[in-house]
Amino acid sequence: MKRSRLTPLALGLTWLFSLGLVFVLGLFLAFAFHLDPDHSRDDDSLELRQLGIVIERLLDEPLDYGEMMSMANRDRFPDQLERALTILLNEHGVFRRERSLEYIAEGVPARKRISGVQFLLDQPSSVNRDMALRIFFEQWGRTDGRSALAMANRVEDPFEREPYINAVLAGWGQTRPRDAWQWLRQNEGAEAGTRMTELIWQITRYHPDDALSMLHQLPEDHRVADAAWLSFADGLMQALPPEDALNWVGELPSGWLQLEMVRMVGEAMSARSPRAALVWIEDEAPEGLAEILTETVVRSWAQDEPEAVMNWLERSPAGAERRAMIQLAADSWVSARGPVPLSQWLNSQPASSDWDAAIEVLVVEVMDRNPQAALSWAQVISNPDSRVYYEMLVARSWILRDPDTALAALEEQLSTEEARALVLGRISTPVESEVLPSMDPEYTIELEEPEVD
């Protein structure tokens, strides 16, 4: 049996017909659905759905997907988006405005980003416009950092331009960190410090290993090396639970940077749950870090809940460590709220040597502003040696500021012969150059006197 064979001419015509058919079908589909062949998202993408929700909420009308994706006027920013942005630029709710702007920036097709940024640049300068531009530039940086930077660099005002460049680098650093870092190193200038610290912070949040590798490329004497390392530490704190961030401390190059990061960890743990933090530190903190972590947690906790931390310390084992923590907590309490609340709380407690360290902090804090009250508090310190020392400290400060009043009062008010002999014998006639300015009446403070049983 003979098989029929196609002649070379017939084969050629068939091939050309197939190509023509494919071409016609492609054109038909593109025009039928108004889609850019390069566009990778469809109408059901998460970004477009979120954009549709924002448009419906702001304009009370559905999103026109055809205009959004149309090949015609491909560079023109859609009318719906212009109207939505105009509303958001006058929106007062910060969170609602920011989230809506993010959804719009994420949903805008790539080919319309330039026209969207240009629309915003053409609006009157305002805080809301600057926020919108930073959001748009950051989103653009995630997908095409170089094009976004080219647009940002066209902004003439340097005070506006720099935040937009940082926004692009932030987005670029999230998706292509090595490209963003390479561009930055090749374009270091007067603004390199801020740009580098911002970029390292962003990269650390998403790619900590890459950020560490980049920092190791910096010379130790680079002018922003320390600031960049601190941004690395802060980025870790944003990206990781504090206990996990602590594992990175050893990667920092110098002792003070490591110490600073440990303090960051302690503050974060305290903000979350100070009691749980202290238990974790006691049981699981790496060797050598427990002390500084404890100090940081106690100091931070005392600023927010001073009475709670004092009650917790009262139940901890007695000893030098507890005394140091009580002194630290009292100092933090006074720094945050002034001496009066501490004096009131001390008066509400039973007399105890446990609180000598807190009383000492109170005495030092007020002796320049109310020496009479400071002396009264010094005299309720339980430890005799400490009591004499703080009496002398107050007396000396008082005499140097107001010799006549002090000398008239101290002879009767000092509690021991030892204190009177030491104070009055040594400084009853202060050298003229030692006398300090008299107390300003507006600088004095009324303090609750200690209650003595």
Listed range (27-41, 43-57, 97-111, 267-281) with the worst mean pLDDT: 27-41
What's the CA gap between 450 and 437, in Å, rounded? 28
Task: Determine the average pLDDT of the residues in 405-430.
Answer: 71
pLDDT band at 442 (very low <50, low <70, confident <90, very high): very low
Task: Determine the average pLDDT of the residues in 224-230.
Answer: 91
Tens digit of each residue's pLDDT (9 = 90 or more) over 232-257: 999 999 999 999 999 999 999 988 99
Both tokens of 364, joined, read 């030092």
Tens digit of each residue's pLDDT (9 = 90 or more) over 269-294: 999 999 999 999 989 888 888 999 99
What's the CA gap between 167 and 378, in Å, rounded? 56
Backbone φ and ψ for 133, nearest 5 degrees, come out as -65, -40
State yes or no: pLDDT of 12 exceeds 80.
Answer: no
Does residue 156 come out as left (phi exceeding 0), alpha (psi in the -120 to 50 range) or beta?
alpha
Specify the pLDDT at position 40: 43
Listed range (8-17, 37-46, 250-259, 376-385) with the worst mean pLDDT: 37-46
Closest to 409 measured CA to CA, from 395, 388, 426? 395
What's the CA gap between 145 and 131, in Å, rounded? 19
More confident residue, 38 or 126: 126
pLDDT over 70, % of the chain: 82
Specify the pLDDT at position 362: 95
Listed range (214-218, 356-360, 398-402, 415-419) with the worst mean pLDDT: 415-419
Both tokens of 323, joined, read 């005394």
Task: Determine the average pLDDT of the residues in 350-376.
Answer: 92
* Residue type (1 letter), 11: L
Task: Determine the average pLDDT of the residues in 218-230.
Answer: 86
Q: What dihedral do alpha carbons 186, 192, 195, 200 form, nearest 10°?
A: 70
Task: Determine the average pLDDT of the residues in 394-403.
Answer: 86
Specify the pLDDT at position 270: 92
Both tokens of 354, joined, read 């446990």
pLDDT band at 437 (very low <50, low <70, confident <90, very high): very low
In SS3 terms, 194-235 reads as HHHHHHHHHHHHHCHHHHHHHHHCCCCCCCCHHHHHHHHHHH
Does residue 338 come out as left (phi exceeding 0), alpha (psi in the -120 to 50 range) or beta?
left
Closest to 196 measured CA to CA, from 210, 181, 186? 181
Specify the pLDDT at position 432: 44
Q: How many helices and strands (H and E) does the chain possess?
A: 25, 0
State yes or no: pLDDT of 444 exceeds 60.
Answer: no
More confident residue, 319 or 439: 319
pTM above 0.85, yes or no: no
Both tokens of 243, joined, read 């206990």
Task: Determine the average pLDDT of the residues in 140-153.
Answer: 95
Closest to 387 measured CA to CA, from 378, 376, 397? 378
